[in-house]
A and B are shown apart, each in its own frame.
Chain A
Amino acid sequence: MSILSEAQAKTILDKVIALSKADQISAQLSGGISGNVRFARNDISTSGIVDDTELGVQVSFGKRVGTATINQFDDASLERVVRRAESLARLAPENPEFMPVVGKQTYKPTQTYSEATAALTAEARAKIAEASILPCRKQKLVAAGFLEDGHSFFAHANSNGNFGYQQSTFADYTCTVRTEDGRGSGWVGTNVKDVSKFDAGADVQIAMRKAAASVDAKALEPGKYTVILEPAAVAGLVSFMMNYFDARSADEGRSFLSKQGGGNKIGEQIMDPRVNIYTDPWHPEVSVLPWDGEGLAREKIAIVEGGKVANLDYSRYWAQKQGKPENASWGNIIMEGGTKSTAELVAGTERGILVTRTWYIRMVDPQTVLLTGLTRDGTFYIENGQLQYPIKNFRFNESPVIMLNNIEELGRSVRVKADEGSSMLIPALKIRDFTFTSLSDAV
C-alpha cells in the first residue's frame, strides 16, 4: 500500500476533488516505508520498520476552512473524509488572513529518488552496523551510531486543477566512536539521497581517528579564538539563524532583520561580502520536492547575496499584503564555499582551534541571534598548520551574524545534516574572534 504509483495516487485524488461541495478543496496523499538500525556499545540496540500512508483534505467556504484525514481508500471512506472537512469548515471562525488554494502550477521535477536507497533491506542495514562496529571492536574502541533510510511518495491536487506527484528517498548515517575509558570521542555524519555513494567502513575510520586522537585533552582559557568550524559545526549555527528569516517578523519589528524605525533589512549589508546563501530545489546535491506544503512551485531564490539580505521568507498572505511576489517556502539552504578542504584550511592556519561539531545550540537573545552551545567529539588546537593536541570542549556564546562578519576563509561546501535540522549544503569556515565563554569537562 505504501508506495502508490502516480496513476493510483491521481485516481484517489481525482475522486476526492470531485466529491467536494465546498468553494475550494485541496488534498494531499503521502506514504512510505522507513527503516532504521541503531547501535551502541558495539552491538545493535534497536532496529525497525515503519509503514504509514495518509490522505489529508482541506476545504473552504468563503474564509472558513476545515481539515480532515483518513487512511482508508474505498469510495465510502473518501466521501466520509470530504464531508467531515466540510462540516468542520462550516463551524470554523472566518480567518481574515485566509488564502485561496494555489492556481495550476508547472513543476520541473527534481531528482529526489534513488533506487539503491529504496531497495535497502534489514540485512543491508545490519551489515552497515556491522561495518561500523567490527573495526571498533578490533581497536578497543566503542561505536554508537544510527542509520535511518526512507522511501516515500508525495501527491497533491486541488480544485484549481493543480496536481503533483514525486517519489523521494534519503539515508542518514551518524556514528560516535569513544575510547573504552571514555576519555576520547570522535564523530562522523553522512546524509545522502543515494545510499550506494556511502561507505560506512570508510566513514567510521574518521570517527575512530578522532576518538583516539582526542584522549588527554588540555584545557585552554576561554576567550576569543580563530576557529575552523567543520561543515557540521557551521550547519549547527547557520541553520539555526535561517529559522529567523521570516519576513513578517522582520516587518513587525521583532527580528534581527528588523530595521530601526520600521521595515526590514532587505538590501542591507549584514555579513561579509563573501557570504552567499540561496535555496534551489534542483541542486543535485540537496534536491528537494519541487513544491511546498501548499503546492506552490519552488524556485531558486537568493537569500543573502554578497553579504546583503536579498530575500526574506514570505508567507503567501504576507507577500500579498506587502505587494511582494508569491514564492514557495524554502525547501533547502545552500551556502556557497571556496575550494579548500578542511585539511587545507588547517594547513594554512598559524594558530587556531578545529571544531568537529556543535551541540545543544539554543537562542539566548533573538535581538542579535546570540546563540549558546558547545563543541563536541573532536576539538583540537592548531599551530603552524598542524593539529597539535586535543583540547577540552568549550561553551560558546556567539551570533552567527557576527560570525559571518568575521570570516577569514571559506572551505568547500558539502552536504550535511545539522543536529535538529534538515540537510543543507555548507562549507567549513575559518572564523576570527569566535567567542568561547567557559570550559566543559564533557568528553
Chain B
Amino acid sequence: MDRRDFLALSSMFTGAALAPSFFGKVIAAEQLQDAIDVAVKKRLADAALSAATAAGASYCDVRVGRYLRQFVITRERKVENIVNTESSGTGVRVIADGSWGFAATNEMTEDAVAAAARQATAIAKANARFLSAPVQLAPTKGVGEVSWRTPIKKNAMEVPIEDKVGLLMSVNEAALGAGASFVNSMLFLVNEQKYFASTDGSYIDQDVHRIWAPLIATAVDKATGKFRTREGLSAPMGLGYEYLDGRAEDKFVLSNGLTTYGMSYDMKEDAIAAAKDAQAKLKAPSVKPGKYDLVLDPNHLGLTIHESVGHPLELDRVLGYEANYAGTSFATIDKRDAKFKYGNEIVNLFADKTQPGSLGAVAYDDEGVKTKRWDLVKDGILVDYQATRDQAHILGKGESDGCCYADSWSSVQFQRMANVSLAPGKAKLSPADMIAGVENGIYIAGRGSFSIDQQRYNAQFGGTVFYEIKNGKLGPMIEDVAYQMRTPEFWSACSAICDESDYRMFGSFFDGKGQPSQVSAVSHGSSTTRFDGINVINTARSLG
C-alpha cells in the first residue's frame, strides 16, 4: 500500500531536485486556480471519439485531465520545498475487434488526440488476434453534459503559500517545544480536474479535491542509541482546507488524553502529543507476546479493513487479473454463492463512492457510471464484490458498481477500491464502555507497519501508539506490538462495535495496484471495535 510511496515521496522532495515526472510538471501558484474551458475539452473529446469510431472501434471513452498537486515539505524550522505540479493530457480507451486498446498524449490538440485514438484502436486490433473472449461491457446510459465538484468549503489551492508555511512552522515549533528531537510536517493537496466523454453519450466534468497533513515527531536518546517516532493521527480526506480548522466537535478524547480526529484536524495539538508520545515510547515497556483482546481505534482499523476486506473483495483480484502483481483473493465467487461466513454476525461492511468527506467520493467513476453505496458483507456473510463495466456480467449483474479509476490522464482506468467501511454498532456503546469490559487487552491507534499475503489471508499489523488494558482500565503505553491474523478468523473474533457517535474515517492516499502501477486514494470508516483473543508478537530485536 502506501508507506513506501510516502517515504519515497518525502525524501524525493527534500532535495533541491525538480519534481519527478510522475507527479507532473511544476507550475506557478497562480495557475492552480485555473481550469481548462469545458468547450475546449468537449472539442478534444469529440475529435477522439470520431477518430476512434472511424478507425473501427465499437466503443471509445476519452478522459481529458488536468491533475494539480501542491506539496509543502518542512522539517524543524525549515521549509525544505514547495512544489506545484500540473499534468495535463488526454487518454483514449477503445474496444476494437472485442479487445481493449489505450493511448495517451500530452499534446492538447484535436489532431494529437485523434492520432491517439487511432493508435489505441490499432493496439486493440493487434491484441485481438488470439483473444479467447471479447470484452463485454455492462450497459450505462449516456448522461449528456453534467458536472460535479467535491463539496469543499475552502479551496486549499487558493490558500496563500504563506499561510500554509506559517501553519507548518507553528506545528513544528510546537513539537520541538514539547521535546521532539526532530519533526517533519507536510501538506499534500490534490485537485483532479477530470473530463470524461464516451460513445455512450456522456460528457462529465468533475472537479475533485483531497487533502493530507502528515507529521512525524522523532525522539532520540543518543546515550542509548535508541530512537522512536510517532506519526500524526490525521487522515487524508476528500475535503478542502477546512479540514485543518480543528473544531472541538471533531475531537475524540480517551480517558488517558489520547486525542484522535474526525472531520477536522488540530495539527498543532497533535504535534505536541506526538512529541510527548515519541519520548514516552523510548521508555515504554516491551509487550509480552500472547493472546489479547484488541480495542482498535478507527484511525488504525481503517487500514485493517483496507487490507483484509477492501482488497480481497475487488473482483479483478478474485478473477485473477491482478495475479501477477497485487495478487488474487481467498474470497472466491463460489464462497459468495455458499454464503461464506466472513465474520461475526455483527459485522456489516459496505462499499460507498458517495460518502461526503471521503477520498473516493465522486458523482461518476472514470468510465461514466453513476456512483452508489452497496453491501459487501451483510450480518457477517459475504454477499458481493466491487465490479467495473467489463466485469459485471461475470457476477450476473446488469450494471457496474461504479468503481473504475485512473490516477492520471496517461493511465488506463481499471477497477479500484471504493471507500469500504464497517457499519457502526446499533446499540449505544462508547470506547470508554468498551474498554471497561476488557480484562486483558491492548488499545491500538494509528497505522504503523502492515503487511498481508497475496490472497489476503495472513496479515501482520503494528500501530502508532499502544496502551495496555487491564481489568477494564487503560494502562501505560507499551511498545514493540504487532498482531498476526487470518482474515476470516479475525473478523469472526469481532465482539463489539461502538455506536455511530464514534464513527470516523481513516484514509490511504497512495494505494498501489496495477501494472504499470497506479495509486488511488480511498477512505475507510468505522467506530472503535473490539476483537477477542488475537495473537500479539514482540518485534524488538538486537543488532548486537
Contact = CB atoms under 8 A, between A and B. Distances in A.
A393 B452 CA distance: 12
A166 interface: no
Contacts of B332: 182
B82 interface: yes
A374 interface: yes
Contacts of A255: 227
A37 B516 CA distance: 9
Using C-beta atoms within 8 Å of the partner chain, give the interface range for chain B: 35 or more
Using C-beta atoms within 8 Å of the partner chain, give the interface range for chain A: 35 or more
Contact of A372 (B107, B165, B449): B449
Contact of A51 (B104, B218, B480): B104
B346 to A, nearest CB: 25
A98 interface: yes
Contacts of B127: 37, 44, 47, 122, 126, 129
A40 B323 contact: yes
A440 B458 contact: yes
A36 B412 CA distance: 11
Interface string B8-33: 10010011111101000111110000
Contact of A364 (B116, B161, B462): B462
Contact of B458 (A40, A49, A438): A438
Interface in A326-377: 359-368, 370, 372-374, 376
Interface stretch (A85-93, A277-285, A301-309): A85-93
A97 B75 CA distance: 11
Contacts of A440: 453, 455, 457-458
B152 interface: no
Interface stretch (A12-20, A67-75, A107-115, A383-391): A67-75
Contacts of A84: 27-28
A43 B458 contact: no
B460 A372 contact: yes
B453 A260 contact: no
A56 interface: yes
Interface in A120-162: 122-123, 125-126, 129-130, 133-134, 142, 144-146, 148
A440 B103 CA distance: 39
B274 interface: no
Contacts of A42: 132
State the main secondary structure of chain B at its contact with A.
mixed
B420 interface: no
A402 interface: yes
Contacts of B325: 146, 174
Interface stretch (B136-144, B201-209, B521-529, B536-544): B536-544
B7 interface: yes
Contacts of B319: 40-41
A439 B455 CA distance: 13
B222 A68 contact: no
A45 B321 contact: yes
Interface string A239-253: 000010010000011
A65 B15 CA distance: 12
A48 B123 contact: yes
Interface string A48-74: 111111111010000001011111000
B100 interface: yes
Contacts of B116: 51
Contacts of B541: 365, 368, 370, 399, 402
Contact of B543 (A148, A270, A292): A270
A144 B320 contact: yes
B414 interface: yes
B224 interface: yes
A290 B477 CA distance: 49
B324 A174 contact: yes
A357 to B, nearest CB: 10
A442 interface: yes
Contacts of A51: 103-107, 116
Contacts of A178: 320, 323, 328
Contacts, number: 284
Given A52-B410, A126-B126, A376 B454 contact: yes
A175 B412 contact: no
A401 interface: yes
A401 B543 contact: yes
Interface string B359-371: 0000000000000
A68 B130 CA distance: 46
Most buried by B among A42, A97, A316: A97
B101 A144 contact: no
B220 A442 contact: no
Contact of B320 (A36, A142, A316): A142
Given A40-B320, A68-B26, A365-B541, A52 B132 contact: no
A28 B103 contact: no
Contact of A144 (B7, B120, B323): B323
Nearest to B131: A43
A256 interface: yes
A220 B353 CA distance: 43
B75 to A, nearest CB: 10
A261 B451 contact: no
Interface in A233-277: 243, 246, 252-256, 258-262, 270
Contacts of B222: 253, 260-262
Interface in B413-441: 414
Interface string A424-443: 00000000000001111111
A38 interface: yes
Contacts of B486: 441
A17 B3 CA distance: 38
Nearest to B103: A49
A395 B454 CA distance: 11
Most buried by A among B8, B17, B105, B127: B127
Contacts of A252: 181-182, 220
Contacts of A34: 516
A312 B515 CA distance: 32
Contact of A368 (B8, B14, B537, B542): B542
A87 B30 CA distance: 11
Nearest to B462: A364
Interface in B102-149: 102-107, 116, 119-120, 122-124, 126-127, 129-133
Contacts of A58: 16, 18
B26 A96 contact: no
The 5 closest A-B pairs by CB, nearest first: A48-B102, A260-B225, A69-B25, A293-B17, A442-B455
20 contacts: A37-B127, A40-B321, A47-B100, A49-B104, A49-B123, A52-B106, A98-B16, A126-B129, A133-B130, A144-B323, A253-B220, A254-B181, A256-B543, A260-B222, A261-B223, A368-B543, A374-B451, A395-B458, A402-B541, A438-B484
Given A45-B100, A359-B454, 6 more contacts: A45-B321, A145-B324, A174-B325, A442-B453, A442-B455, A443-B455
